């Protein structure tokens, strides 16, 4: 083999940044490539997402949802890639990428139906809330076991390379997942075969409650890229424009046949890991205040206001409209019935195997006996 095939691309550890936390532009050339109306739309979408997250958490606390994971503070890490990539590209999300689905056109009602688990839930109530899928938008179902999406992403990226259709695949995961075996398998395979894959690591500092320094010895996750012979980049994950830039460059690299990129987005989850978590047990208020000052919405709003593109009246109007939208969607979702019982056994195999046929018959007989009342529940 040639020496070129064993030469790892450089790893960029100085964070890619377009806009500083105070809204000051540090990369005007890239900023000029994004239409101003798109920047306004991105801010509106991220602000709306924050409203949705707040409402969903309240629903869970009221006992109307079983579970929820907010992406508060990490909105740029989903809306940025969704904006940067093309309709033909494939997305393998983790837990905090609702922006990918909503920006790319997943019907809002379908997203909310998943949270409730009604008959119109795209996954028919088979998954927990926040485990949606959007096949029409090339978005693969979220999986609870962390890391499974990494080799899956590589598989579809390699398939695109074999087809020659110019598509790329992107997967999302947290820094804790980078210690899973699937991370090694995926990056190694992608590096060897130069699959056009983008590995997007949201490094928010904690794997649930375990701090980064207790799981990883390297200063940056992106440094691991060198060991797999692939490109590695660190990006300011609270700068949505920088995220767009990093993902665009990674996609161009992959489409050109140069292989995958590992992107490490430095960010912070302002909210708890989930509605089952209380971060007060492992984070300090001082740390939270430090990251609140770097909030992705705060910095973008500062720039928009300085440019005369946003003001308090628009902020209030967007917040109220988003609140009304989520309340209406939740009201509709709760009015719908549960999935039909036979969906427990359908849509898994093209031809239902004998053991599922037998199990379905047994359950239906049990219900018909009058000793169980599924419909009332």
Q: In the numeric block, which tokens belong to residue 32?
A: 């000029």
Q: Dihedral of the CA atoms 178, 73, 144, 242 (nearest 10)?
A: -50
Active site residue 212: no
Give which of 224, 226, 223, 263 is closest to 243, Cα–Cα: 263
Which of 269, 294, 299, 301 is the catalytic position?
269
| Helix spans in the chain (H) | 28-31, 36-61, 76-84, 98-103, 108-116, 149-163, 181-193, 240-255, 285-292, 296-306, 312-335, 354-368
Active site residue 273: yes
Which of 104, 273, 283, 301 is the catalytic position?
273
List the end-to-end C-alpha distance of the chain, in Å, as a whole number.
64
Separation of alpha carbons 332 and 330, rounded Å: 5
Answer for the pair 268, 296: CB distance below 8 angstroms, yes or no.
no
One DSSP character per residue, 131-164 reads ---BGGGTBPPP-SSTTTHHHHHHHHHHHHHHHT
- ∠ CA 304-308-314, nearest 5°, is 75
Active site residue 377: no
Which of 36, 135, 282, 366 is the catalytic position?
282
Catalytic residues, which ones?
269, 273, 282
């Amino acid at each position: 083999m040639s020496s070129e095939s064993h030469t790892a691309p450089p790893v960029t550890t100085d964070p890619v940044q377009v806009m500083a936390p105070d809204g000051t532009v540090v990369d005007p050339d890239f900023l000029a490539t994004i239409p101003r109306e798109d920047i306004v739309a991105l801010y509106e979408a991220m602000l709306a997402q924050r409203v949705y997250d707040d409402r969903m958490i309240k629903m869970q606390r009221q006992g109307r949802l079983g579970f929820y994971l907010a992406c508060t503070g990490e909105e740029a890490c989903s809306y940025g890639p969704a904006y940067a990539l093309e309709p033909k590209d494939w997305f393998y999300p983790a837990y905090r990428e609702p922006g990918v689905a909503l920006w790319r056109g997943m019907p809002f009602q379908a997203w909310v139906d998943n949270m409730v688990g009604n008959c119109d839930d795209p996954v028919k109530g088979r998954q927990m809330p926040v485990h949606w899928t959007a096949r029409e938008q090339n978005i693969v179902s979220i999986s609870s076991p962390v890391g499974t999406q990494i080799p899956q992403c590589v598989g579809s990226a390699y398939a695109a390379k074999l087809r020659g259709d110019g598509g790329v695949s992107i997967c999302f995961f947290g820094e804790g997942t980078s210690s899973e075996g699937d991370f090694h398998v995926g990056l190694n395979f992608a590096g060897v075969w130069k699959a056009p894959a983008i590995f997007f690591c949201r490094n928010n500092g904690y794997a649930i409650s375990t701090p980064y320094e207790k799981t990883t010895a390297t200063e940056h996750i992106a440094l691991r890229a060198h060991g797999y012979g692939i490109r590695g980049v660190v990006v300011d994950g609270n700068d949505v424009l920088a995220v767009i830039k990093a993902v665009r460059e990674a996609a161009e690299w992959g489409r050109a046949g140069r292989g995958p990129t590992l992107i490490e987005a430095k960010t912070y989850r302002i909210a708890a890991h989930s509605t089952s978590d209380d971060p007060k047990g492992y984070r300090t208020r001082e740390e939270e205040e430090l990251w609140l000052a770097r909030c992705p919405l705060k910095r973008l709003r500062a720039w928009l206001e300085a440019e005369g593109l946003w003001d308090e009246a628009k902020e209030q109007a967007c917040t109220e409209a988003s609140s009304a939208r989520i309340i209406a969607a939740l009201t509709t979702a709760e009015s719908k019935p549960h999935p039909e019982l036979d969906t427990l056994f359908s849509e898994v195999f093209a031809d239902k195997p004998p053991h599922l046929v037998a199990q379905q018959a047994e359950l239906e007989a049990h219900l018909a006996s009058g000793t169980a009342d599924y419909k009332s529940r």
